[in-house]
Structure 1
Amino acid sequence: MDRNREQGIRLMTQTKRPAPHPEWVLMYRKGIPAPKIAAGAGVAASVVRYHLAIAAKQDPGLRQEHQAAMPVPPPRVTDAGRRNLASVLAFHHAEGRLPVNGRSPQESALAGWLTRRRQQAAYGALSPAYAHALDTIPGWRDYPTKRDADAARWQQRLAEVAAWLAAGHDWPRHNKTEDQAERTLGVWLHTQRIDYRAGKLTAAKEKQLDDVIPGWRHGRVRRGGNSRGGSA
């Protein structure tokens, strides 16, 4: 019997098979892909896909069940992922918060990478190497909002100004200084004074400022003992 005749007979046999074939549907439902089912049955993959298409019309949730049942690939750790991990850890150490979208291209990129790690963690597919390192950051699995990030940064700046004063420095200046660290703290403190005078500073923040860095409203003192009246 020649090859063409064999194929013809096989196709005729296949067309007589009731569709959808229950065994193939069950295998597909368990996550086995159509080509593998076809290879095991000794038929063309197109025949299996035809049966599965009919089954999917009868049961619209079939393909979702197939996807859910497919084995999860082992978590991977790439060189780029290691660099992003190190950057996230360094960012948290420097800023006292996690990166969020919308502040800068670099921060947004880190925020996007961290979001994907949160998704993997939720599905149990996060690499243990990532999980072990990121779990050193409290609450990293939660999705931070911009308000959360702003509140964390405010608390961080308050602590930094307190540490600056405890080190023996005068009130940090927001101008007339070459020290970028001092300027950063000075701008933050100057903003708190502006908000206070405009009635925009919340009572809770005002109390924290009074408790942690008393005298913050006045700033440096001129020679002769007169205050600069709130200047940084």
Structure 2
Amino acid sequence: MMYAAGLTVREISDLSHWQCSTIHAHFKSRERYLPGTRAEHETALDARGVDRPTVSWRKLLAEVLEFQKALDRLPHHKGDDTERRLHRWVLEQGRAYRNGEMSAPKIILLDGLVGWSIDTHQQELDEAWRTKLTSLIKFTATYKRTPRYQNHSSEAERVLGVWLHVQHQKRAEDKLMPWRLKMMNEAFLHWQSRM
């Protein structure tokens, strides 16, 4: 699969920890039994274009894999300079992948890095949204009304009122994510009419 995707023998060696000579011998043997294997590899190699895993890219991947192995997590933006550098690199890879701008060889090489393609920033935003919804549910259960952003009785009510107002605006502009709209509808019947 790696050979057919256009990975070089060196890249396959780095990933599989086999000797280059062993990999060469394997593919030479494979060509005898499956003629056209080398041609398929050459075509894929030519198609890689500019988004090929360079030596520096593979070194960074090795650093991140070592970091994850040692600490059982991806690098974070709150770490030291080295960790922040690795964190930025992982973010770039995830962004390129989600935008469909990443080559197959890079995707294959990143396979061993757990969680690299997940948008952690969006996860944090989604979790904050769920927390606000939980606070809104508690508020309405306690006070038997929705929070107000004007004429509010506390800062906490104002914050929730503003948040609810923003949800109304996003729904009216059809910009509220479908799963968020579904959760709002399930939590509050008739919330669109401001209860």
Same fold? TM cut 0.5: no
Q: As a proportion of its length, which structure holds more helix?
A: 2
Q: If the length of structure 2 is used for normalisation, what is the TM-score?
A: 0.39
Q: If the length of structure 1 is used for normalisation, what is the TM-score?
A: 0.33
Q: Which has the higher contact order (CA 8 A, sep 6+)?
A: 2
Which of structures 1 and 2 has the bigger CA Rg?
A: 1
